[in-house]
Amino acid sequence: MSETAPIRFFLGSNSPQGFVSRFDQLDYGDPQWHTFYIKGGPGCGKSSFMKRLATVFENRCPLMEQIPCSSDPDSLDAVIFPEWKVSIADATAPHALEPKYPGLSESILSFGDFLDPLKIKPYGETIRLISQTTSKNYSQAIDCLAAAKSFLNDSHRIALNSLNPQKLNAYAKHFSYKNFPKKSGRGKEKVRFLSAINAEGIVSLASTVRSLCQDICFISDDWGAASSLFLSALRSHALENGQDVITCYCPLSPHTKIDHLILPELGLAFLTENRFHDLSGLINQPTLISQRHIHAKRFLDLDSLRRHKKRLSFNQKAAAQMIAQAVYLLSENKELHDQLEQIYLSAMDFSMMDDVLESVVAQMIDFKIAREGSSLL
């Protein structure tokens, strides 16, 4: 790794389908994994607790992943400790989680036990009003994102019809042959979001790329059609060559469109670059050993695109306006959520949190000792 900055990915995002969760990725698909599910309302200290736990293990878990809240990146939704085969997550809506094998693979930490309901009762009307308002705002924000996607989908179709797939696939195959060393077996894949749409706009976790990669390939693609197909082809070649990949999907097409691809063992990242992905903070970084640029235009019939110039321009502007309106509604919700947190915060007794933290740390150590059959000092 090129830096010691935390590895941070989103495991959820606001999308045209509503909130999309990839919290199924918490355990890496490992049956020996153990996950702590935190239950509790807003302001109950879930994020603060996870930050404290991350601090305890920051020097003992270099591959730790911190999962920011996609609506508020300053808060944590989860922390993954790969070397310890442990995760901890906020298990409340919109990414509610329930144990599948209680005690065996999961444990519940109930922070609601530290809440005094009598101190909440006087705020009942305010809490209900905030809940109703945020629900309405969120529904409208999702409608705006759906509208944005419809405009961008139209541009995507135009670009696809102008694409030379044979040329793209041949280039992807040649690039993979030169840059992806062959290893035994098939590579493993992690699915993440590197970007999310929230109250701050379209937020990208650029520091993660700086931490994991010294070699970055920027793919300039205004319409996202060529880049997505190119990244999909690279993903397939990398996995076939035994290389592990981190596949980062687009928040507006969270199940189908790849925005970015990271090969951590090679320190190599492929990043889509356009008006919706501001990656200027990564360009010409002193930690980069190599920086390359691929222009999607090389795979496109530019004359065909020019015939749709006005339509493409309109789609871009309309999509940007719809996203801006969604961001405005989400920012209103963020302010209301902050008010809600203050209400619950005033009713919490945090005096037992130190004991809970000590218990979780002790359990993590016990799990590792039981699994590896050795003492940890």
DSSP-derived 3-state class of residue 152: helix
| Nearest-angstrom CA–CA distance, 322 and 99 | 38
Burial letters for 77-91: b for 16+ Cβ neighbours within 10 Å, e otherwise? bbbbbbebbbbbbbb
The pTM assigned to this predicted structure is 0.93
CB atoms within 10 A of CB 311: 13
| pLDDT range class, residue 250, cuts 50, 70, 90 | very high
| pLDDT range class, residue 313, cuts 50, 70, 90 | very high
Residues 6+ apart with CB under 8 A from 56: 357, 361
* 98-112, 206-220, 298-312, 361-375: least confident range: 361-375
DSSP string of 158-212, one letter each residue: HHHHTB-HHHHHHHHHHHHHHHS---SSPPPEEEEBSEEEETTEEEE-HHHHHHH
Distances (CA, A) of 249 to 160, 227, 285: 19, 12, 24
Mean residue pLDDT across the chain: 94
CB atoms within 10 A of CB 202: 17
In the chain, % of residues over pLDDT 90 = 90
| pLDDT range class, residue 279, cuts 50, 70, 90 | confident
Decide if pLDDT at 3 tops 70.
no
In the chain, % of residues over pLDDT 70 = 95
Decide if pLDDT at 224 tops 50.
yes
**CA-angle at 145, arms to 210 and 41, nearest 5°:** 75
Decide if pLDDT at 288 tops 70.
no
| Nearest-angstrom CA–CA distance, 116 and 260 | 45
| pLDDT range class, residue 1, cuts 50, 70, 90 | very low
* 88-92, 280-284, 303-307: least confident range: 280-284
Cα-atom radius of gyration of the chain, to the nearest Å? Answer: 22
Q: What is the pLDDT of residues 341-359, one digit of tens each?
A: 999 999 999 999 999 999 9
Decide if pLDDT at 277 tops 90.
no
Q: What is the pLDDT of residues 156-167, one digit of tens each?
A: 999 999 999 999
The pairing of strands 76-81 and 65-68 is: antiparallel
Q: What is the pLDDT of residues 180-207, one digit of tens each?
A: 999 999 999 999 999 999 999 999 998 8
| Nearest-angstrom CA–CA distance, 179 and 66 | 29
| Nearest-angstrom CA–CA distance, 283 and 20 | 30
pLDDT given at position 283: 61
Distances (CA, A) of 53 to 57, 121, 271, 353, 364: 7, 31, 31, 11, 11
DSSP lists the bridge partners of residue 36 as 88, 107
Contact 84, 364 (CB under 8 A): yes
- Which residue did the predictor score with more confidence, 282 or 219? 219
pLDDT given at position 2: 40
pLDDT, average across residues 16-24: 96
pLDDT, average across residues 212-236: 95
For the chain, the structural domain boundaries read 7-115+350-372, 163-300
pLDDT given at position 280: 66
Helix axes 46-57, 353-372, angle to 10 degrees: 50
> What 8-state DSSP symbol labels residue 139?
H
Q: What is the pLDDT of residues 35-72, one digit of tens each?
A: 999 999 999 999 999 999 999 999 999 999 999 999 99
| pLDDT range class, residue 28, cuts 50, 70, 90 | confident
Q: Is the peptide bond before 99 cis (omega within 30 degrees of 0)?
A: no
Distances (CA, A) of 231 to 164, 169, 206, 292: 15, 10, 18, 15
- How would you classify residue 184: left for phi > 0, otherwise alpha for psi between -120 and 50, otherwise beta? beta
Helix axes 309-345, 124-161, angle to 10 degrees: 160
CB atoms within 10 A of CB 203: 19
